[in-house]
Amino acid sequence: MNIQSRHEGDVLVLDIDGKMTIAAGSAAHDAILDALNRGEKKILLDLEGVTALDSSGVGELMASYTSARNRGAAVKLLRLAPKVGEVLKVTQLIGFFEIFADTGAALRSFG
């Protein structure tokens, strides 16, 4: 898994590419915890490049969502890769996240 970070105004965008699986470890959640520890409050995960998502990856997304909420921050999802969308629908977790197909709309949603 490869994670690149960039800022769009006051929103931290994490571009995630590759597999979010048990083999990748907790890299995504670790990146989000690091951002939260630096005081980031608006985090957008661009998942367009995610090629696989297993139960470990789902756990990372849910842990990230919970960690952010507990710190008064928000994690939102952008451009779900088809496999990611399917897994979130099957697990009925899709309703936990605000999901956007358009970067501009996602950024504006943070207010």
Which tokens is 59 given?
Answer: 């756990």
How many domains are there within the chain? 1
Q: What is the pLDDT along the chain (111 residues), one digit of tens a residue?
A: 999 999 999 999 999 999 999 988 889 999 999 999 999 999 999 999 999 999 999 999 999 999 999 999 999 999 999 989 999 999 999 888 999 999 999 999 998
CA dihedral (14, 20, 24, 28) positive or negative: positive
Length of the chain: 111
Give the per-residue pLDDT at 24: 85
Give the per-residue pLDDT at 52: 93
pTM, to two decimals? 0.94
Give the per-residue pLDDT at 39: 98
Domain CATH for 101: 3.30.750.24
Q: Which residue has the tokens 């490049």?
A: 49
DSSP 30-41: HHHHHHHHTT--
Give the per-residue pLDDT at 46: 98
* 84-89 long-range contacts, CB within 8 A, separation 24+: 84/20, 84/47, 84/50, 84/53, 87/53, 87/54, 87/57, 87/58, 88/58, 88/61
Structural domain boundaries, residue 44: 2-109
Give the per-residue pLDDT at 98: 96
Give the per-residue pLDDT at 23: 87
